[in-house]
Amino acid sequence: MERVLITGAAGFLGSHLCDRFIKEGFQVEAMDNLITGDLKNLEHLTDNERFTFHQHDITEHIHIEGELQHILHFASPASPIDYLKIPIQTLKVSSLGIHNCLGLAKHKGARVTIASTSEIYGDPEVHPQTEEYFGNVNTIGPRGVYDEAKRFQESITMAYHRYHGIETRIVRIFNTYGPRMRLNDGRVLPAFIGQALRGEDLTIFGTGSQTRSFCYVDDLVEGIFRLHFSSETRPVNIGNPDEITISQFAEEIIALTGTTQKVIYQDLPENDPKQRQPDITRAREVLGWEPLVDRAEGLKRTYAYFQTLSEEELYKSEHKDFKAYLKN
């Protein structure tokens, strides 16, 4: 039986990847320091004999006994609000953390897929974004801690690939949504749905003319799974090219939830990208992949999940108090 280490396993994407690898018959070693992740996302797997959870901060040396064939590196705060609150940890996980993962991969002869991001394109001047575009990132802006760490992560991954011959894969993930997103993580979809469920007005940042392209989590996981088992070592965009303005998106959430609240406008965060849409030609050609779940269907499923949350979870709308979790 092959074994896979998934870092960030208790997070939104990490937990869905655990499900997929369990379903495919792997032994899953799930690792998370639980700063932004939540064990609730893995509750249903804890009795599975092919599943083990390790509470560990991967910026410290990673020790796994025995053979290991695969690593999926998905640990990182991923919401702009999170990485503004824990900038140093955000930088460390995609530098020291990936360094440890690559060292482990070299030692075990494992293949590594790293979670990169559309944020490496920054506020893009090329639209839609192809993998050839080098990006437009403000290194010293508030988002720089995430964007630059993710860019470094791609560089060190390619260095280990070229210098040590490690098998590496790089997935550039565009906005993704679905069940198990944190209601209070500050990202636009949980923010809007949470506001609708609590009977609050929906907060649009800026004019709402900025665009995003939202991918349903099942499609994303399928793309990542295909990429990991392909021979493609170049970065691959995985996302849904169906682009929408944030204003239109708010209208869709209002229609979906039936809320009678209105939209209110707040300041646009610094360096907030004006447009974002993946060019997925490479994924189509190399992986035979494309998204299958449209936004109407994906939003329905995601809303159904958020409706199952308790009152307490719904009103725990303050962003996580990270201080309680951090050692350094």
Instruction: Give the shortest CB-20-to-ligand UDP separation in angstroms.
Output: 23
Instruction: Give the shortest CB-27-to-ligand UDP separation in angstroms.
Output: 33
Among 28, 86, 173, 204, binds ligand UDP (CB under 6 A): 204
List 83, 146, 160, 177, catalytic entry: 146
Query: Which CB, 192 or 225, lies closer to ligand UDP?
Result: 192
Instruction: Give the shortest CB-191-to-ligand UDP separation in angstroms.
Output: 4
Work out the number of other CB atoms within 10 angstroms of the CB of residue 209. Answer: 13
Among 10, 62, 114, 191, binds ligand UDP (CB under 6 A): 191
Instruction: Give the shortest CB-256-to-ligand UDP separation in angstroms.
Output: 16
DSSP 194: H
142 binds ligand UDP per the rule CB under 6 A: no
Give the DSSP H or E segment for 252: helix 246-257
77 binds ligand UDP per the rule CB under 6 A: no
Query: Which CB, 103 or 141, lies closer to ligand UDP?
Result: 141
Among 52, 95, 130, 203, binds ligand UDP (CB under 6 A): 203
Beta strand 70-73 pairing with 111-117: parallel
Instruction: Give the shortest CB-213-to-ligand UDP separation in angstroms.
Output: 10
- Within 70-201, strands assigned E span 70-73, 111-117, 168-173, 176-177
Give the DSSP H or E segment for 31: strand 27-32
CA nearest neighbour of 157 among 92, 97, 107: 97
Residues sharing a CB contact under 8 Å with residue 125, sequence separation 6 or more, in sequence order:
136
Contacting ligand UDP within 264-323 (CB under 6 A): 268-269, 272
146 in active site: yes
Residues sharing a CB contact under 8 Å with residue 167, sequence separation 6 or more, in sequence order:
105, 110, 111, 112, 161, 233
212 binds ligand UDP per the rule CB under 6 A: yes
Contacting ligand UDP within 232-261 (CB under 6 A): 246
Residues sharing a CB contact under 8 Å with residue 33, sequence separation 6 or more, in sequence order:
55, 56, 57, 58, 75, 325
DSSP 97: I
CA nearest neighbour of 94 among 69, 77, 107: 77
Stretch that binds ligand UDP, among 19-27, 29-37, 153-161, 183-191 (CB under 6 A): 183-191
Among 6, 13, 22, 188, binds ligand UDP (CB under 6 A): 188
The residues that touch ligand UDP, with contacts defined as CB under 6 A, are: 79-80, 175, 186-188, 191, 203-205, 210, 212, 246, 268-269, 272
Residues assigned a catalytic role = 146
